[in-house]
């Protein structure tokens, strides 16, 4: 007859504390960004489909793109999708360059319809959607930035402390082993979160916005330094494309981390603000 009774210490170890993790501005601007970035990516891929090739410099060297997606005729006479990257040819039939339309017919399209807005080919509509969400994204981002600087959100929650930075190598190992901070340590963003959010907010997003500006002939007239910054309009277009995919990569890792470190808790905290941590009852 030896049933183990939960000890007082165990009960204390299981204390659940509800904390307030994300302020209302962060929550709203986060979800507006999610919508905008999704729309911008999909309409952007439609725009890319109008000329699915990238170059470096000011002009297009049509015969020697740095990167392209297209349809080519294979030696056996069949058409195939092909990605060209620095002279390397990769067969992408079925994924990129040549896919199937809804009716099963082969479709000569760089990025397939399920990835684009709209699904049918329309550069005009793709552009309208891209610029609408670009405005919303930039205004939303500026609002977030002003709030974050005035409220000290940036310094309080994002800029890592010396202690955070010292913990960087250990944090990398912990993440690789899928062990995430618990208890009191989970109250604040860990160092990898801080650094990745800072890179996205202060490097990737400003870069992709400025590269977008540099593609505008009118803005180039007003601000020629945009072209200097990227090394030409076609370089800016290439950078815009690369950074878009870096943001996709960030989003994939971000969502994976959300799922692995407690999907409901994380999701709730970004909707209601409340985030539950388990402490050892050692709170003051």
Angle at 226 between CA 220 and CA 229, to 5 degrees: 150
Pick the closest to residue 124 from 241, 237, 46, 68 (CA basis): 46
Q: Does 224 bind other proteins (CB under 8 A)?
A: yes
Is residue 54 a contact partner of residue 66, using CB atoms and an 8 Å limit?
yes
Query: Binding segment for other proteins among 10-18, 49-57, 187-195, 256-264 (CB under 8 A)?
Result: 49-57
- In angstroms, rounded to a whole number, what is the distance separating the alpha carbons of residues 181 and 164? 13
Q: Does 133 bind other proteins (CB under 8 A)?
A: yes
Q: Does 233 bind other proteins (CB under 8 A)?
A: yes
Q: Does 28 bind other proteins (CB under 8 A)?
A: no
User: Dihedral of CA 194/206/255/54: which sign?
Assistant: negative
Q: Does 218 bind other proteins (CB under 8 A)?
A: yes
Q: How many helices (H) and strands (E) does the chain have?
A: 12, 8
- In angstroms, rounded to a whole number, what is the distance separating the alpha carbons of residues 55 and 239? 10
Residue 44: exposure state from Cβ atoms within 10 A (0-12, 13-18, ≥19): buried
In the set 37, 237, 239, 275, which binds other proteins (CB under 8 A)?
237
The three-state secondary structure class of 99 is strand
Pick the closest to residue 92 from 52, 38, 50 (CA basis): 52
How far is residue 32 CA from its own chain's centroid? 13
Query: Binding segment for other proteins among 5-13, 147-155, 209-217, 248-256 (CB under 8 A)?
Result: 209-217
The three-state secondary structure class of 14 is coil
Q: Does 118 bind other proteins (CB under 8 A)?
A: yes
Q: Does 278 bind other proteins (CB under 8 A)?
A: no
Query: Binding segment for other proteins among 32-40, 87-95, 191-199, 202-210 (CB under 8 A)?
Result: 32-40
The three-state secondary structure class of 215 is coil
Q: Does 244 bind other proteins (CB under 8 A)?
A: no
Q: Does 223 bind other proteins (CB under 8 A)?
A: yes
Q: Does 123 bind other proteins (CB under 8 A)?
A: yes
Q: Does 150 bind other proteins (CB under 8 A)?
A: no
Q: Which is nearer to other proteins, 18 or 58 (CB)?
A: 58
Minimum distance from residue 248 beta carbon to other proteins (Å): 15
Q: Which is nearer to other proteins, 70 or 181 (CB)?
A: 70
Pick the closest to residue 40 from 211, 202, 194, 220 (CA basis): 211
Query: Binding segment for other proteins among 170-178, 190-198, 232-240, 246-254 (CB under 8 A)?
Result: 232-240
Minimum distance from residue 38 beta carbon to other proteins (Å): 6
In the set 216, 261, 265, 266, which binds other proteins (CB under 8 A)?
216
- In angstroms, rounded to a whole number, what is the distance separating the alpha carbons of residues 105 and 2? 71
Q: Does 209 bind other proteins (CB under 8 A)?
A: no
Is residue 65 a contact partner of residue 89, using CB atoms and an 8 Å limit?
no
- In angstroms, rounded to a whole number, what is the distance separating the alpha carbons of residues 166 and 163? 5
Minimum distance from residue 26 beta carbon to other proteins (Å): 18
Residues that bind other proteins (CB under 8 A): 35, 38-39, 47-48, 50-51, 53, 55, 58-60, 62, 117-120, 122-125, 127-129, 131-133, 135, 215-224, 227, 233-234, 237
């Amino acid at each position: 007859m030896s049933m183990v009774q939960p000890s007082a210490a165990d009960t204390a170890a299981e204390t659940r504390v509800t904390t307030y993790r994300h302020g209302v501005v962060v929550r709203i601007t986060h979800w507006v960004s999610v919508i905008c970035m999704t729309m911008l990516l999909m309409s952007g891929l439609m725009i890319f489909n109008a000329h699915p090739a990238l170059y470096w410099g000011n002009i297009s060297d049509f015969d020697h793109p740095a990167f392209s997606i297209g349809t080519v005729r294979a030696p056996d006479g069949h058409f195939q999708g092909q990605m060209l990257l620095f002279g390397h040819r990769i067969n992408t039939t079925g994924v990129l360059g040549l896919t199937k339309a809804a009716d099963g017919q082969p479709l000569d399209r760089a990025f397939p319809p399920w990835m684009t807005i709209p699904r049918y080919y329309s550069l005009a509509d793709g552009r309208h959607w891209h610029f609408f969400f670009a405005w919303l994204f930039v205004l939303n981002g500026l609002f977030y930035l002003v709030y974050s600087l005035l409220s000290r959100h940036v310094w309080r929650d994002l800029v890592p402390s010396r202690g955070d930075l010292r913990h960087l190598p250990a944090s990398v190992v912990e993440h690789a082993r899928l062990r995430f901070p618990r208890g009191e340590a989970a109250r604040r963003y860990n160092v990898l979160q801080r650094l990745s959010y800072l890179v996205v907010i202060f490097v990737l997003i400003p870069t992709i916005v400025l590269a977008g500006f540099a593609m505008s002939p009118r803005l180039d007239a007003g601000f020629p330094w945009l072209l200097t910054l990227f090394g030409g309009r076609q370089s800016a277009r290439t950078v815009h494309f690369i950074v878009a995919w870096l943001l996709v990569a960030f989003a994939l890792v971000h969502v994976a981390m959300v799922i692995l470190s407690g999907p409901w808790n994380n999701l709730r905290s970004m909707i209601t603000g409340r985030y539950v941590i388990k402490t050892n009852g050692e709170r003051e």
